[in-house]
Structure 1
Amino acid sequence: MLTKMFKKTPLAWRQLMKEKTRLLVAVAGITFADMLMFIQMGFESALFDAAIKPHRSLQADLVLINPQFQTLFSVKSFSRERMYQALGYEGVESVSPVYIGTGQWRNPETRQDRAILVWGIDPAKSAFAIPEIQQNINQIKQLNQVLFDQAGRPEYGAVGDIFKKTNNFQTELNSISVNVKGVFSNGASFAADGNVITSDSTFLRLFPERKPDRIEVGLITLKPGVDAEKVRSQLAANLPNDVRVLTPEGFAQTEREYWATGTGIGFIFGMGVGVGFIVGIVIVYQILYSDVSDHLPEYATLKAMGYTDRYLLVALIQEALLLALFGYLPAYIFSFGLYQLTYAATMLPIAMKLDRAINVFILTVIMCSVSGAIAMRKLRSADPADVF
């Protein structure tokens, strides 16, 4: 009987609609809390994605790295001989070395130097699955020719714009004159504000202290149809323990793990999400508590009529869930717009993802449900005797 009456009388809906000003305040509070969670999660994901973007762009089936390699910010090298040893295993088609170092790029306008990540690759084989790099790979075969990351920090100079207009850009890298022969887009990250790609020969000239037989990454290309995991296991079991065999994604996760757990960055963003969650609980609780307090005589009357605490709790939880829905929708829309603005201003790979949208919605439902459950304590104090 009570169920039928409840269906005929949407108590939660009517209570919310009665006080429209209070409803708007509650929705604004939940929207703010949700946006805080969206922004924290979005920035964390974007910064991590930017940090591992070069790793995921590597054109290889497997990679070799030093076991102590944690981040591009502080690279570790290993013997190039290990890469050629891998070439002798069945299923391996080719190998290619990659040198990584931090150089000083000079802005020709300001004459100021700024650190930039330099990648030295074999120009006979593109190490990156980035179309702009593959199209211009032949341009770096000659000494002192480089490809420049136009999505890097503007402090490097208007390299991309000038090159597109004049098809020429000359500056200094590690005090050596270099010519930009093409541009590509990767973007800044934790490890570097920008990137430069050049040939292995030019790299060794830019870094004369580096030994040619010490590389940072060994790229392994397998023959078509070969099981990558099987070959990876064989190489890991048989190569000396001074190298580690990973897939490009595994290599990327090594970098991500460093920034997520090896620094305070993951904790800071996690705290931001937690603060947003707590703020939402407080806001929703205050709204529901005030609503219950203002209608305490009415709740007592319902109890006197035979309605149970369970029925009233369900109504209160439904009210909380409606608030969750009303607050989540504008937060999703506003956050989507903020992501687009952030991407346009910073070139960070920030975008709305389905799993993040679902996670924030679940957190919003939990946040509002917890608030409703806490506010129920006030509802239980509604005594039918107070009405008479």
Structure 2
Amino acid sequence: MSTHSPRRRSGVGRMRSGVHRIARWLPRPPLALRNVRHGGTRTLVAVIGMALAVVMVLLQLGFLEAVRITAAINYDQLDFDVALVSTEFEHFYAPGRFPGARLTQAQSLPEVTAARPLFTRMNFWRCPSYPPATGRDPALEGGGESSSHNALARWWLGARRPRPLQRRALLVLGIDPDRNPFHDPIRRQIAAAGSRLREDDRVLFNDRSNPDFGWDQWPRFTGWELGNRRVEVIGPFSLMRSFGADASVLCTDTNFARAFGLPSLDGAVNFGLVTLLPGSDPEEVAARLARALPPDVQALSRRALYRLESDYWVGQTATGKIFSFGVFLTMVVAAVVVYQVLSGDIRNHLPEYATLKAIGYGDGYLARVIQTQAGLYAVACYLPAVLLSVIVYRATDRLANIPMVLTGANLWTALVVMVITS
């Protein structure tokens, strides 16, 4: 015999009936959301796969952005509003030359406050061996990098990687020490060198250069050579290396000429860095300078020079083309990953979809369910992908000394790619 009274049973029944009536009026989770929640391990695998696809897209976009950043990295350290360059100018590392008298002529405009020269050219640098040579030169003995060190080991060892004495090309920057064209911190580092920088065959060495160039062995190593001349490194300066040069040194214009075996620079310069009065329009002043100066020189605002340099490195060099193609390729791969994830999910739910078709749901409804589910996957994978990309960006920046910046434009691009492909 039941111990429950009829009154108690009727009360429970009324409660359940009331709950069911309320539940009928509450919004139900969409079928797509319930599929995602019910997927369990399959959903987790799908989200991980799509997240890795997003990371690949963001990484390639970061590399392409790094090309744009390094294209302007040298100009960012220079104090100018308008640049005078040769009509043969191609990019920072192939600027051409023009008469230095154009700087004096440019100062005739009332808006111009200063016009300072900058000399740039590539030359060969004597890189010390590692471990430091002990009376023997492994390069002369025919030694090279140890075959026992594979690419991963060489990357891991970094500056401690065994290497022979060798010569490699680096960027040489020449300045008039009385007209320092740099911003801080390089301006302060040049000032700290003082009169020593004016002495013969003295240079500052970029402490952010590739480790192969030997900064880590200064001041123990003293056998530095620039071109065919022995030089003395008297201190550091800090300039991020770029895709155009792995290392750089800085010296006076007089020592710049000596480094290339020239008695003098014959009054020719590579860049004329023009600063203007506050409130002046660089574009308008550049146009006036172009009209006033002879046709052997062109005047470019900072913005125009940035655009010219970026167009060259992104659109004309192999580096820019490889990363641009990499962005396209990773987007295709991301689309394939998304397709595989969704097609697998559809196969797993074919019986349920067939049942829905049998009870009257049309193709349009099922298509909306699948599209909504794809959108949910894209949203679910995006935040983990961004967090993982931040870690990868920082590691790449630190280990490869490449300026990896996760820009808002790149974040939106990756999100749009995932939503569209989904």
Q: Same fold (TM over 0.5)?
A: yes
Matched, 1:145 2:202: yes
Q: Pick one of 122, 126, 132 that aligns with 1:102.
A: 122
Residue 262 of structure 1 corresponds to which residue in structure 2? Answer: 316
Contact 1:98–1:120 under 8 Å retained in 2: yes
Residue 31 of structure 1 corresponds to which residue in structure 2? Answer: 51
Question: Matched residue of 2:412: which SS?
Answer: helix
Matched, 1:357 2:411: yes
Matched, 1:198 2:251: yes
Provide, for residues 346-370 of structure 1, a one-character-per-residue CA deviation record: whole Å limited to 9, x for no partner: 21111322221121111111111xx
CA RMSD of aligned residues (A): 2.4
Instruction: Tell me by how many angstroms 1:145 deviates.
Output: 2.1
Matched, 1:162 2:218: yes
Q: Residues of 2 paired with 1:280 and 1:15: CA distance?
A: 22
Matched, 1:322 2:371: no
Q: What amino acid is the match of 1:16?
A: V
Q: Residues of 2 paired with 1:35 and 1:102: CA distance?
A: 36
Q: Pick one of 54, 70, 76 that aligns with 1:50.
A: 70
Provide, for residues 107-166 of structure 1, a one-character-per-residue CA deviation record: whole Å limited to 9, x for no partner: 24454222111011111122111314433333423332222111111111135x634xx8
Instruction: Tell me by how many angstroms 1:340 deviates.
Output: 1.0
Instruction: Tell me by how many angstroms 1:6 deviates.
Output: 10
Contact 2:98–2:297 under 8 Å retained in 1: yes
Q: What amino acid is the match of 1:296?
A: L
Instruction: Tell me by how many angstroms 1:217 deviates.
Output: 0.4
Q: Pick one of 235, 238, 254 that aligns with 2:292.
A: 238
Q: Residues of 2 paired with 1:214 and 1:221: CA distance?
A: 20
Question: Matched residue of 1:251: which SS?
Answer: helix
Provide, for residues 360-382 of structure 1, a one-character-per-residue CA deviation record: whole Å limited to 9, x for no partner: 111111111xxxxxxxxxxxxxx
Question: Matched residue of 2:383: which SS?
Answer: helix
Q: Residues of 2 paired with 1:262 and 1:186: CA distance?
A: 24
* Structure-to-structure mapping, 1:211-222, within 5 angstroms: 211-222=265-276
Contact 1:58–1:248 under 8 Å retained in 2: no
Residue 63 of structure 1 corresponds to which residue in structure 2? Answer: 83
Question: Matched residue of 2:242: which SS?
Answer: coil
Deviates more, 1:314-323 or 1:243-252: 243-252
Higher CA-based Rg = 2
Q: 1:6 to 1:258 in 2, by over 3 A?
A: farther
Instruction: Tell me by how many angstroms 1:323 deviates.
Output: 0.8
Q: What amino acid is the match of 2:353?
A: Y
Residue 343 of structure 2 corresponds to which residue in structure 1? Answer: 289
Q: What amino acid is the match of 1:162?
A: W
Q: Residues of 1 paired with 2:294 and 2:360: CA distance?
A: 77
Provide, for residues 53-79 of structure 1, a one-character-per-residue CA deviation record: whole Å limited to 9, x for no partner: 012211111111112212233331112
Residue 383 of structure 1 corresponds to which residue in structure 2? Answer: none
- With the length of structure 1 as denominator, give the TM-score of the two structures: 0.85
Contact 1:55–1:249 under 8 Å retained in 2: no
Instruction: Tell me by how many angstroms 1:268 deviates.
Output: 2.0
Q: 1:242 to 1:335 in 2, by over 3 A?
A: same
Provide, for residues 285-336 of structure 1, a one-character-per-residue CA deviation record: whole Å limited to 9, x for no partner: 2332333334334334434555444433332221111111222222211111
Provide, for residues 72-98 of structure 1, a one-character-per-residue CA deviation record: whole Å limited to 9, x for no partner: 333311121222211111211111111
- With the length of structure 2 as denominator, give the TM-score of the two structures: 0.79
Residue 146 of structure 2 corresponds to which residue in structure 1? Answer: none
Q: Residues of 2 paired with 1:315 and 1:299: CA distance?
A: 10
Q: Gaps spanning 5+ residues in structure 2: where?
A: 1-23, 130-163
Q: Residues of 1 paired with 2:265 and 2:387: CA distance?
A: 53
Residue 152 of structure 2 corresponds to which residue in structure 1? Answer: none
Contact 1:56–1:249 under 8 Å retained in 2: no
Residue 95 of structure 2 corresponds to which residue in structure 1? Answer: 75
Q: Gaps spanning 5+ residues in structure 1: where?
A: 369-388
Residue 182 of structure 1 corresponds to which residue in structure 2? Answer: 235
Q: 1:314 to 1:347 in 2, by over 3 A?
A: same
* Structure-to-structure mapping, 1:81-96, within 5 angstroms: 81-96=101-116
Contact 2:60–2:330 under 8 Å retained in 1: no
